[in-house]
Amino acid sequence: MKVRITPQGREIEVTGVRTVHGLLAHLGVLEGTVLVIRGEALLTTDSQLADDQTIEIRSVVSGG
């Protein structure tokens, strides 16, 4: 699947991951620090993923 990471603007290809939980573990991202977006919907950690999908991982962290 195509994974777009924002706000960094990176795009990577990930295969063989079946759930959001698995995707976050694969990317080393903590649950709760990002939104996982598919189209117009947010996904929970148990949501199923497929290789032909495009997913956005959007950081929720702000401030400095």
Partner 1 sequence: MKCTRCRDSAELKLRAHNAAFCRTCFFEFFERRVLRAIERGRMIEAGERVLVAVSGGKDSLALWDVLARHGYATVGFHLALGIGEYSARSREACQRFASERGLQLEVTDLRAQDIAVPDLAWAARRPACAACGTAKRHFFDQAALDHGCAVLATGHNLDDEAARLLGNLMHWQTDHLARQRPVLPPPHPRFVRKVKPLFLTSELETASWAFMRGYDYVVEECPNAVGATQLTYKAALDKIEAASPGSKLFFVRDFVERGAAFFEKSAADRSAGVCTSCGQPSFGEICGFCSLRAQLERRRAARGETRRADG
Per CB under 8 A, 53 contacts partner 1 = no
1 or 5: CB nearest partner 1: 5
Per CB under 8 A, the list member of 3, 17, 23, 43 interacting with partner 1 is 43
Per CB under 8 A, 31 contacts partner 1 = yes
54: β partners: 2
Task: State the pairing for strand pair 34-38/41-42.
Answer: antiparallel
Measure the CA–CA gap between 22 and 43, rounded to whole angstroms.
Answer: 13
Per CB under 8 A, 50 contacts partner 1 = no
Task: Fill in the DSSP letter of residue 48.
Answer: B
15 or 39: CB nearest partner 1: 39
Rounded to the nearest whole angstrom, what is the least distance from the CB of residue 39 to partner 1 in the complex? 12
Task: State the pairing for strand pair 10-13/2-6.
Answer: antiparallel
